[in-house]
C-alpha cells in the first residue's frame, strides 16, 4: 500500500455546480479525516469517520458539505452548489487506533477552484 | 475555544540551527504534533509529544511544556531541503485524534 490517495487532484468548476472528491485511506487504517486548507493557512478540520460511522460532523462548513464512508473503506466528500469561497485544498488523512501516537497520514489533496 | 499560535515566517542559513515556537490554548490536551509540509505536497509527520520534555529524532527535536502551553521544534544542521512550512497541531479531544492545526510557519533556508 502506497499511502492515502485522493482523486481528482485538481478540479475546476463553475459556481453553483456540485463536486465530489474521493479518498482511499491506508488499507489497515480505521479512521479517516477530511480537512480543508487555504493558501498560507494550516489544515482546518471538517469531519471524521471511525470505520463507517461519522463521529464528528459539526465542523462541516455548511449544509452544502457532506461526507460518506459507506463500507468503512474509501470516503467521498461532496460540496453542493459550490461558491467561490469553497476554493481550497481538500485533504484526506487516515490513522489507526492501534498506533500509540495516532499520527495522521495525509493524502496529496484535491485542489478545488470555483470560477 | 482552540487557539494555536506560531510565527508566520522565518528565515535561516544553511548549516545553522532554528527554533520554531508554538503556543496553544485548547479546551483539552492529548498530545502535540509537528508536521512538515512542502509547497503543494501533503503534510508529513515529524514528531509527537505528550509528556513534558524534549524528544530528539535525528536533526529534529521537539519540546513540550504542558503547564505553559508551549512547544518548539528545533532543526539542526539546516539543509536547503528543510525549506517548508512547519505545522503545529494539538489533539484536544479524548477520541478521534482530531488535530487542530496552527497556521504554520514558513521556513526559508538560504545558502
Of A31, A42, A101, the CB nearest to B103: A42
Subunit contact B45:A105, Cβ cutoff 8 A: yes
Flag if B91 and A102 touch (Cβ within 8 Å).
yes
Strand partners, A13: A114
Length of chain B: 111
Q: Which three cell numbers stand for residue B110?
A: 538560504
d(CA B46, nearest CA chain A) in Å = 10
Give the per-residue pLDDT at B96.
57
Cα A2 to chain centroid distance, Å, stands at: 18
d(CA A97, CA A91): 20
Can you list the residues of chain B whose pLDDT is less than 70?
1, 94-97
Check B101 against A44: CB less than 8 A apart.
Answer: yes
Find cell 458539505 and name the residue: A65
Strand partners, B73: B20, B62
Q: What is the pLDDT of residue A93?
A: 96
Report pLDDT for A99: 66
pLDDT at B97: 64
Cell of A57: 460532523
List chain A pLDDT tens, one digit each, 115 residues. Answer: 579 999 999 999 999 999 999 999 999 899 999 999 999 899 999 999 998 888 887 778 889 999 999 888 999 999 999 999 999 999 999 998 776 677 899 999 999 999 9
B29 CA: distance to closest CA in chain A (Å): 13
Distance CA B56, CA B74 (A): 9
How far, in Å, CA of A92 to CA of B89, rounded?
16
CA atoms in the 13 A half-sphere facing the CB of A11: 26
Strand order in the sheet with A75-79: A5-7, A19-24, A75-79, A65-68
Q: Which residues are paired to B71 by β-bridges? A: B22, B64
Report whether A12 contacts A87 (CB < 8 A). Answer: no
Contact criterion met (CB below 8 Å) for A90 and A78: no
- Provide the greatest CA pair distance for chain B: 44
A81/chain B closest Cα distance in angstroms = 26
Contact B31 A105 (CB under 8 A): no
Query: A-contacting residues of B 16-55, CB under 8 Å?
Result: 31, 33, 35, 41-45, 48
CA distance A17 to B41: 26
Q: Is A25:A5 a contact under the CB 8 Å cutoff?
A: no
Neighbours of A1 (CB within 10 A): 10
Amino acid at each position: 500500500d502506497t499511502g492515502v490517495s485522493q482523486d481528482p487532484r485538481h478540479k475546476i468548476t463553475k459556481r453553483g455546480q456540485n463536486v465530489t472528491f474521493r479518498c482511499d485511506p491506508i488499507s489497515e487504517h480505521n479512521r479517516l479525516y477530511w480537512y480543508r486548507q487555504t493558501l498560507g493557512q494550516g489544515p482546518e478540520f471538517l469531519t471524521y469517520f471511525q470505520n463507517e460511522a461519522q463521529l464528528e460532523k459539526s465542523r462541516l462548513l455548511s449544509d452544502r458539505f457532506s461526507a460518506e464512508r459507506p463500507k468503512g473503506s474509501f470516503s467521498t466528500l461532496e460540496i453542493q452548489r459550490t461558491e467561490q469561497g469553497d476554493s481550497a485544498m481538500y485533504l484526506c488523512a487516515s490513522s489507526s487506533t492501534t498506533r500509540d501516537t495516532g499520527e495522521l497520514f495525509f493524502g496529496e489533496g484535491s485542489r478545488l477552484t470555483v470560477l | 475555544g482552540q487557539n494555536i499560535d506560531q510565527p508566520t515566517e522565518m528565515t535561516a542559513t544553511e548549516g545553522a540551527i532554528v527554533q520554531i515556537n508554538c503556543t496553544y490554548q485548547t479546551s483539552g490536551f492529548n498530545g502535540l504534533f509537528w508536521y512538515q509540509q512542502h509547497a503543494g505536497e501533503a503534510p508529513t509527520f515529524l514528531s509527537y509529544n505528550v509528556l513534558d520534555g524534549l524528544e530528539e529524532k535525528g536533526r529534529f527535536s521537539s519540546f513540550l511544556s504542558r503547564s505553559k502551553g508551549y512547544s518548539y521544534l528545533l532543526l539542526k544542521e539546516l539543509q536547503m531541503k528543510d525549506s517548508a512550512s512547519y505545522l503545529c497541531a494539538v489533539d484536544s479531544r479524548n477520541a478521534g485524534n482530531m488535530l487542530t492545526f496552527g497556521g504554520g510557519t514558513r521556513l526559508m533556508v538560504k545558502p
